[in-house]
Structure 1
Amino acid sequence: MKTCVIGLGRMGRRHLEAARRAGLTVVGAYDPLPASVDAAVAEGAIPREAVFPTFETMMAAVRPEAMVVSSTAPSHADYVCNAAAGGVRFILCEKPMAVSLADCDRMVDVCGRYGVRLGVNHQMQYMEQYTIVKEMAESTAFGGLRSITVAAANFGLAMNGVHYFEMFRFMTGEEITSVAFQADAAIVPNPRGKEYEDRSGQLFARSATGRRLILEIGGDLGHGIQVVYGCRHGQIIVDELAGKLRAICRQEEFRDLPTTRYGMPATEELRQIAPADVIEPTADVWRGVLAGGDFPDGIRGRHAVRALVAAQVSATRDGAPVSLAGGLPIDTKFPWA
């Protein structure tokens, strides 16, 4: 299937490999920055003759069936909508899906109108650090997942924190309904340019049934991603960067005791799992988009952006909880990359 890639930065170059692994044939690419093009060509990621001077010339010359949109976030909506209107049948867009809820709505509407299958590159449902934990947490031994605590570093709420909104939905089967975000005073700089900003701080999100997501991504934290999955009968702790899992749960005869009996005899398991990766899970997202069915589509991508917008609003209200149900700014464009 003829495929084009928009954006040849670090993630865009990974998308070239991911698309090929998914069985797609990359026939064209476009990036307005010569430095990004030069880097991709120098790495052997794509031949220079396959790089086009504009999006329009690429579309006219190649007439692609599939497209990756891996440019900076402010341009996602226009590229996705123009590609859909131009005959592209399958589109994979990087996260965050867009910089406003209005743009998300437009992307979903246009792709629906033209019968285009739109995916957003939230890969969690294909990564064993989540699939293994989900199976364990839902087992009788652990008694169901109640909370997720991510103790990470200064990786940016929009750049990386947004992934955990979709991870929460996948792990719990529930959408986030409210967000409270205590943002640090300092703005997180973005290497893509001075026009882009992100935030660090502490976030607390809830679902309708009271399940929780807690993100500790303070600006004074410089290493690691540890995730603690709190269950009725135990905990599962994952070092996402090292690929290490530690699971502790009550022994069977103590499971029905009150949660206040938190020190009951327990069983422990240590396991090595695949550390966080980008390319193969992205190829898996492509496989999901091409096959249809259950994959991270535009609806899920839009929900992650809704949670992100709610966090931005909460930050302006001294961290007060903000509902995702309504009243969020639709047209406001945020300076995310």
Structure 2
Amino acid sequence: MARAPGLSVRLKLTLSYAGFLMAAGGVLLATVWVFLLRYVPTSSSFGPGPFSPSRQDLQDAFSPWAGRAMAFLLVFGLVGGWFLAGRMLAPLSRITDATRLATSGTLSHRIRLEGRNDEFRELADAFDTMLARVEARVAEQQRFAANASHELRTPLAVTQTLLDVARKDPGADPRELVDRLQVVTTRAIDLTEALLVLSRADQRSFAREDVDLSLLAEDAAETLLPMAERRGVSVETSGAPALAAGSPTLLQQMTTNLVHNAIVHNLAEHGRVWVSTETRQGSVTLSVENTGGHLSQALVSTLREPFQRGVGRTRSDHAGVGLGLAIVDTIVRAHDGTLTLTPRQDGGLRTTVDLPRGAGATPDRTRP
């Protein structure tokens, strides 16, 4: 925004210091003058002599020195104020320089203002924290954009290859080509829809209302029951009603993704999934556990990253698009909650979502 030029803060502080010093000096001189006038008569009652001054004599002697003192205070106030203002505003100059560097795209620079804690140090520390978060966010977005481009390019490249092969071999079975194109297209559609959900959740452009996570868990388990039966996985739901404040659509997507991942990434036979809800003081919890292979903490810590499918735990018959837990993590953060992933001692994964409690929730509410 264009602004008219004005005085610098340093000059304003200098003038303020000098003006205050002049005012204080003026008050002091006026006090001395009034004090002296109380004890000096209007005219000398002892006759002429060097030890019988009158008010006029005192005024003639006091006024020049008072003027010199005020001039000295003015110069001293301007010079000293300029120096003091510069010292006081030096940290602000460093913060301004760091802001300009960040504006130019240099997010790795940090102020790291030394000294004891004060308002400038708090501002500098807050700015450093903000820069660190912005840098991490930008790096995350860059990785996401690169991975998304690669993931979207893959089905398109496969489609192009299939079409090239069909063009060179007119005698090929068209039904096989259509089936393979349908698989590739379905994968591309799933990826695009996942990206849209991720973007919508990240923007936090939704209205909040009370949503019962226990009902969402039951709906997700019922919807995914045919898939679980085909894979030989049993799904159990338990827990009291847990009202969370958020978007019903996004929370339904979050719950479905968690149950879906628990079913897909499970044992080849006789796998189990446990879904439970709980209301605590100030929050509600959704927990999803599943059996499976043993997972290291290093691997688990990468699962919420976009396009990380967890090598060694993915079933070959359903690779997914690698955005399931990334979508869950984004939805949870958009609802001011926390997502915790913990490897189970007996194998598999425990996923816990903590969300702010809805306005109508009560800690001791039980299912009728």
Quick check: which one's helix share is greater?
2
TM over 0.5: no
| TM-score for the superposition, normalised by structure 1 | 0.23
| TM-score for the superposition, normalised by structure 2 | 0.22
User: Which one has a bigger Cα radius of gyration?
Assistant: 2
